Every structure is written in structure tokens, then in C-alpha cells.
């Protein structure tokens, strides 16, 4: 399976010229760029090889919903992927699993590919991997409840495992633990949703230095990169490490 690198710029950069410059250096095959909403159009026009991703998508197509972005509008703008359920939205904006479930359905209906973000906080992980698995299983069960009607497939539903304690802390997960959780997620998706061969990405303090230690394994299908995706040299190196893995299989 080809490795996928997803760049989540979060609320960066401040200027459009910087966004375009960053888009140019990240514009490679098997890469998804998720700029802030305000730069989707200009970054979309810049990209030739990478796909465009949104950092969120609302659950309604249109209507009286101030400040939201409709999945249908996003699709028409040229967006291919949507991050749903990122931990910063779950924690800072109190986004619930029920809201995430509605967003996934609406995004799939609109023809977007969903990158569903899951992951446990440190107070869970410190109890060990079984506790982390149980936390992630509950998130997936709630987020994907009744989802079959939205016709998820291994091509349009990707899971990003992002342990919250690893995000932006410089403290990435241990790759062997990520492999175990990734296998657990893949088995769950296959057993409950008949999603065989769905991609599972890793996210959390990935850098050019640790990227290979994750993406070299067949169980880890790529990465969701935050901070390092804002530095030209870092993201270029991470993409090329992932591309080398693609060449090896």
C-alpha cells in the first residue's frame, strides 16, 4: 500500500504568500495538504500533484449555520479529503462523538475522503496499551455508529491515530506501540465495518528524524504531520522518506 503524508497546517501561516510557498515545496504525489479554510482556494490552484484537504467539514450542506463550511462547498472548491475529529476540535471546541459521526456521514455523502482522527490522552495511556486500545475502540464505535449507510470504503475512510500526549510535545509514540494500535484499528475496521485494507496513519511529533522509524513498517500507512509540515526542509524530507518506502514495495 502506498504511504500517504498528510500535512495539517492548523491555524498557520498568517500570510497567503507563505501558504503558497509552503504548498509548492509540499506538492508531491501521495501527499495531502490541509491549509486553513481561508487559503484552500489559493493553495488548491497551486497544487499539481498533492491533493487538497480541509481541516474540518460541517454536517449540513447549507442553511443558517454561521461560520461553518459545507462539505458540498468544499468538494466544489476542489477539496478531496477532510480531517474529522481532530483532538484540538474535540478538546478545545468540545466536539462530541455524535457531532463527529454526523460530519463523517455528510463528508462521505458529499464525495470527500474522510481522515478520522482518534487517540487517547496521557492519563489513559499511562495505564498501558490495553487501556489505549479500549479508548480508541470506544471512539471508533461512536464515531462510526451506523456509518454503513454512508457507504464507507477502504478508499474513502482513513483513520489517523494521534495520541493526544504526542501532539506538539516533541514526544512521539514508540513505533512498536503504534504498530500494535494500528493492527488493532485495522482488525476492528475489518470485523465491524467490512473495511479491509483501510489505511491507518500515525500523527504526533513526527519529524524528519523519526519519520522512517514509523513509515518503514507495513502496518503504518503514512503520517499526519503538524508542526514539521510548516518547515519546508522538514516536510520535503518526510515526504521523500515516505516515497522511498513506496519505491521499496
Residue 168 touching ligand 13P (CB under 6 A): yes
Q: How far is the CB of 60 from ligand 13P (least distance, A)?
A: 24
Query: Among 23, 124, 215, 225, which residue sits at the site for ligand 13P (rule: CB under 6 A)?
Result: 225
Between 26 and 72, name the residue whose CB sits nearer to ligand 13P.
26
Write down the catalytic residue from 95, 120, 162, 219: 162
Residue 221 touching ligand 13P (CB under 6 A): no
Interface segment toward ligand 13P; rule CB under 6 A; list 121-129, 144-152, 160-168, 191-199? 160-168
Residue 167 touching ligand 13P (CB under 6 A): yes
What would the x/- binding string for ligand 13P be over residues 1 to 20, using CB under 6 A?
Answer: -------x------------
For 197-222, b where at least 16 C-beta lie within 10 A, e where not — what string?
A: ebbbbbbbbbebebbbbbbebebbbb
Phi, psi for residue 231 in degrees, rounded to 5: -110, 120
Specify whether 120 is catalytic: no
Specify whether 86 is catalytic: yes
What would the x/- binding string for ligand 13P be over residues 76 to 105, using CB under 6 A?
Answer: ----------x-------------------
Query: Among 44, 85, 163, 227, which residue sits at the site for ligand 13P (rule: CB under 6 A)?
Result: 227
Distance separating alpha carbons of residues 243 and 240, to the nearest angstrom: 5
Query: Among 159, 195, 226, 239, which residue sits at the site for ligand 13P (rule: CB under 6 A)?
Result: 226
Cite the active site residues.
Answer: 86, 162
Interacting residues with ligand 13P (CB under 6 A): 8, 86, 162, 167-168, 203-206, 224-228
Amino acid at each position: 500500500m502506498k504511504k500517504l503524508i498528510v500535512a495539517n497546517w492548523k491555524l498557520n501561516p498568517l500570510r497567503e504568500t507563505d501558504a503558497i510557498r509552503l504548498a509548492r515545496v509540499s506538492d508531491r504525489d501521495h501527499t495531502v495538504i490541509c491549509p486553513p479554510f481561508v487559503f484552500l482556494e489559493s493553495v488548491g490552484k497551486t497544487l499539481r500533484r498533492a491533493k487538497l484537504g480541509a481541516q474540518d467539514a460541517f454536517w449540513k450542506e447549507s442553511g443558517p449555520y454561521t461560520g461553518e463550511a459545507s462539505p458540498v462547498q468544499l468538494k466544489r472548491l476542489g477539496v478531496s479529503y477532510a480531517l474529522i475529529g481532530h483532538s484540538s476540535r474535540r478538546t478545545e471546541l468540545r466536539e462530541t462523538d455524535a457531532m463527529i459521526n454526523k460530519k463523517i456521514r455528510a463528508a462521505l455523502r458529499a464525495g470527500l475522503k474522510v481522515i478520522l482522527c482518534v487517540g487517547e490522552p496521557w492519563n489513559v495511556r499511562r495505564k498501558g496499551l490495553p487501556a489505549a486500545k479500549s479508548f480508541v475502540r470506544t471512539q471508533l464505535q461512536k464515531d462510526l455508529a451506523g456509518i454503513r449507510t454512508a457507504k464507507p470504503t477502504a478508499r474513502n475512510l482513513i483513520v489517523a491515530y494521534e495520541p493526544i500526549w504526542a501532539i506538539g510535545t516533541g514526544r512521539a509514540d514508540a513505533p512498536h506501540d503504534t504498530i500494535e494500535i494500528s493492527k488493532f484499528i485495522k482488525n476492528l475496521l475489518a470485523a465491524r465495518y467490512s473495511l479491509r485494507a483501510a489505511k491507518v496513519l500515525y500523527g504526533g511529533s513526527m519529524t524528519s528524524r523519526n519519520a522512517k522509524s514509523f513509515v518503514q513498517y507495513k502496518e503504518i500507512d503514512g503520517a499526519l504531520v503538524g508542526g514539521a509540515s510548516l518547515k519546508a526542509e522538514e516536510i520535503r524530507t518526510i515526504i521523500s522518506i515516505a516515497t522511498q518506502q513506496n519505491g521499496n514495495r
